[in-house]
């Protein structure tokens, strides 16, 4: 499929891409850490502060009504983007980490007890490990880990064997932030549901790369961040099935999440407001909606196809470099490629690439257990977006080749 705009038009939508880094044209390949923002998002947020700045759901005056309507319209945009059944299933949070912590606390308080088990995978980001560890410590529960192969493929047979009558929830990443593996989350959900077990999917690295349909996946929770999908920082989404959300206690207390307050008792508001305590990040939510609209306008399938083509170029080029190892060779991947060029330390290589104007991620990528699985202290990750070009990928390959030659 063809993108709705030319690559030149797309790049002009992202002002930061014309930046110079150390006097060289910026080649931004750290999109897995955060994506750049199009003018459509930047201008929307500026316009909000200029013309519609008021508190949401807290006034009868014009500005409050205006921004409240736009905030709820943003919720509808998110609902449609992931094909949730109802707007009440869309909760705005501070990001993926906040969303996972919210579920770990609320679900844990309601459903997890001593001796119960929580299943996650061995390729999780720390944000989908630590909150569950904290819950296990509080409740004296146990954390069970799904192993994965050297190629970066989850062992589904081992997963099936981990599920038991004590399993209370499965929490797994849609896409590995290190390996790029697209996990078979629909199959994972279906298997868990056969045992009556709910599933949370960490979509931080999945939402931006293709179509996400939570109704088709039938997942119980799906979480993601705005800044990973070309939207603002400080905004995230927690999707949850309404029936399950209604059973969970709020994880924060404050204004707007209450129906009635006395010194004796507080009753909570209806969904989704019961989980949105305090003044909301309405500019973030509306900016996120603008980002999702931008992606939809370009064509989400076309975005995914372009990224796959760029990934193929990067994989072919890097694979041809002697001594270089790629981590994550699963047959189904997004446009993320992690590697180590021989014996060169990842930080040395990353700093040299930076001087060439090439921005990549170095280190453990907040996935230390995954790195331990491979017996390494970290690696280099290039994460590619649709606004990157073939010339930039070729520059990356040349840069890595030069680094390996310098240390030969």
Residue 361 pLDDT > 90, yes or no?
yes
Architecture of domain 7-30+299-406: Alpha-Beta Complex (3.90)
Which residue is catalytic, options 112, 366, 395, 400? 366
The pLDDT confidence band at residue 401, using thresholds 50, 70 and 90, is: very high
- Per the annotation, the verdict on 366 as an active-site residue is yes
Nearest-angstrom CA–CA distance, 197 and 168:
6
Q: What is the CATH number of domain 43-296?
A: 3.40.640.10
Same fold, 7-30+299-406 and 43-296: no
Q: Report pLDDT digits (tens) over 279-321.
A: 999 999 999 999 999 999 999 999 999 999 999 999 999 999 9
pLDDT at 2: 93
Domain boundaries, the chain: 7-30+299-406, 43-296
pTM exceeds 0.75 for this model: yes
Residue 343 pLDDT > 90, yes or no?
no
């Amino acid at each position: 499929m063809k993108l709705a705009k030319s690559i030149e038009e797309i790049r002009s939508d992202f002002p930061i891409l014309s930046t110079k880094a150390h006097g060289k044209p910026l080649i931004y390949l750290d999109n897995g850490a955060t994506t750049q923002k199009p003018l459509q998002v930047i201008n929307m947020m500026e316009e909000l502060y200029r013309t519609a700045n008021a508190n949401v759901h807290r006034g009868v005056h014009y500005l409050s009504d205006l921004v409240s309507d736009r905030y709820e319209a943003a919720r509808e945009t998110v609902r449609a983007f992931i094909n949730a059944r109802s707007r009440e299933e869309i909760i705005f949070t501070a990001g993926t980490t906040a969303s996972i912590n919210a579920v770990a606390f609320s679900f844990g308080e309601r459903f997890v007890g001593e001796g119960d088990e929580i299943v996650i995978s061995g390729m999780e980001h720390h944000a989908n490990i630590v909150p569950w560890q904290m819950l296990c410590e509080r409740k004296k529960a146990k954390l069970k880990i799904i192993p994965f192969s050297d190629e970066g493929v989850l062992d589904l047979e081992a997963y099936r064997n981990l599920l038991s009558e004590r399993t209370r929830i499965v929490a797994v990443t849609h896409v590995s932030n290190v390996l790029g593996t697209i996990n078979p989350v629909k199959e994972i959900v279906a298997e868990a549901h056969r045992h009556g077990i709910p599933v949370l999917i960490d979509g931080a690295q999945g939402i931006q790369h293709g179509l996400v349909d939570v109704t088709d996946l039938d997942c119980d929770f799906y979480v993601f961040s705005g800044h990973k999908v070309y939207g603002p920082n400080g905004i995230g989404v927690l999707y949850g099935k309404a029936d399950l959300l209604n059973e969970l206690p709020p994880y924060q207390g404050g204004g707007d999440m209450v129906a009635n307050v006395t010194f004796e008792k507080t009753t909570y508001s209806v969904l989704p407001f019961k989980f949105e305590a305090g003044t909301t990040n309405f500019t973030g939510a509306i900016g996120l909606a603008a980002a999702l609209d931008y992606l939809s306008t370009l064509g989400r399938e076309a975005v995914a196809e372009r990224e796959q083509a760029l990934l193929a170029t990067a994989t072919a080029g890097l694979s041809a470099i002697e001594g270089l190892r790629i981590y994550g060779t699963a047959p189904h991947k997004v446009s993320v490629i992690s590697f180590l060029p021989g014996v060169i330390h990842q930080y040395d290589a990353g700093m040299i690439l930076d001087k060439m104007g090439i921005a990549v991620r170095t280190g453990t990528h907040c996935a230390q257990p995954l790195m331990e699985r491979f017996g390494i202290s970290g690696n280099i990750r290039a994460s590619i977006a649709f606004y990157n070009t073939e010339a930039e990928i070729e520059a990356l390959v040349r840069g890595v080749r030069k680094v390996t030659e310098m240390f030969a």
